[in-house]
Structure 1
């Protein structure tokens, strides 16, 4: 019970620091957003450090501090990686920085012709840019997830999503990304981000996501 109480205290301290630090709530909106991402990494690292310390019977507060430092470094690297990707990629490609990962979303209408898993030549340069970026930041694993709308059978959509994820992964590997860093996943029509009742919504659901997950160097 004592160890559990200390764990909660350490976690709360790290989280409170992230929420109340004056540097986080002052300055421009852009500065606040950039600082938030780094702080999120620190919070995540602190929670991980606390958990590790509890599991190994080491000092919980020290574990939280060390973990927060590692997490802040990861968050800072993600910010840099995100900024570099935004400079390189076409405007139709979106990038989300959650603080612990980057999600590069490529609309399938740009990547593929209808019902095809052959990557469009017009997107080859963008995928090559992603590959170069991943090589520059090697301390991460990469998930390539294919998604479809609900047009056609679920079985066909599942197969198509897998084929498209594999095609994008192949392009990343051709660009020099190591095979062992990449995992491909087909989600079919199971994870829509918009309604499939409209053509606009279907277009949003047809996508490939490249998820960059940092690992400790």
Structure 2
């Protein structure tokens, strides 16, 4: 009993160590999402493997279960780790922010670099950034792409709702025109309903004028 428990702990530890990466910005070692999920999967897999094996084969079953469970648990997390790293590298210096929450990635594109004021026409100097995103979305094609337009609260609600919808649709249309499957994409406008800063200041309103791309696992 003690032996296979020790082997389970060892397998989980290996999975976690394998998921450790070096933060390129701080130089510190950190656990990736894949490593954490893999470690959890390894523990669960080891328990199942040991429980279903005969008494003399429990240690072997624990190791096999840990390996299978770790691979399954870390699979999509590892995929998102790689995609996040590629997006951060690709978007460095563009003004587009990359945020991560679990297995969901969000790209925040400020309005001042994507569209002219009160326009849904994509700014010409933003095309290179979108073209780079197209390449990443083609390489990492296991995501749904939810595009959401946002505005500040200046002007009528109807005008802002329409503008945010048209801006989101402009980005969606550009992606599909450049080879991203329409079945992966949704686009809608949130108007001023989801501010991330105060609309009482110009700086806050500038932050609220944005387009977000939310990358989620395909159903």
Whether 1:128 aligns to 2:126 is: no
Count of residue pairs the alignment pairs up: 183
Consecutive aligned runs of 4 or more in structure 1 exceeding 3 Å deviation = 21-33, 39-43, 65-71
SS at match of 1:104: strand
Distance 1:81 1:70 in 2: 18
Change (3 A) 1:190 1:67: farther
Equivalent position of 2:51 in the other structure: none
Shift of 1:22: 8.2
The partner residue of 2:78 within 61, 76, 79 is 76
SS at match of 1:157: helix
Shift of 1:171: 1.3
Change (3 A) 1:174 1:197: same
Q: Deviations over 1:133-184 (max 9, x none)?
A: 1111111111001000101011111111000000011111122100110000
Q: Deviations over 1:55-110 (max 9, x none)?
A: xxxxxxxxxx9787444221211121122122222431100122311111100111
Distance 2:157 2:149 in 1: 14
| TM-score, normalising length: structure 1 | 0.72
Shift of 1:111: 0.4
Equivalent position of 2:108 in the other structure: 105
SS at match of 1:146: strand
Distance 1:123 1:110 in 2: 7
Task: Write the mapping of 1:16-35 to structure 2, written as runs, cut at 5 A.
Answer: 31-33=28-30, 35=31
Task: Write the mapping of 1:206-217 to structure 2, written as runs, cut at 5 A.
Answer: 206-215=209-218
Give yes or no for contact 1:38–1:73 (8 Å, CA) kept in 2.
yes
When the two chains are superposed, the root-mean-square deviation of aligned CA atoms in Å is 3.3
Equivalent position of 1:3 in the other structure: none
Give yes or no for contact 2:19–2:34 (8 Å, CA) kept in 1.
no
Equivalent position of 1:150 in the other structure: 153
Equivalent position of 1:87 in the other structure: 89
Distance 1:40 1:152 in 2: 46
Unaligned runs of at least 5 residues, structure 1: 1-16, 50-64
Whether 1:115 aligns to 2:111 is: no
Task: Write the mapping of 1:167-182 to structure 2, written as runs, cut at 5 A.
Answer: 167-182=170-185
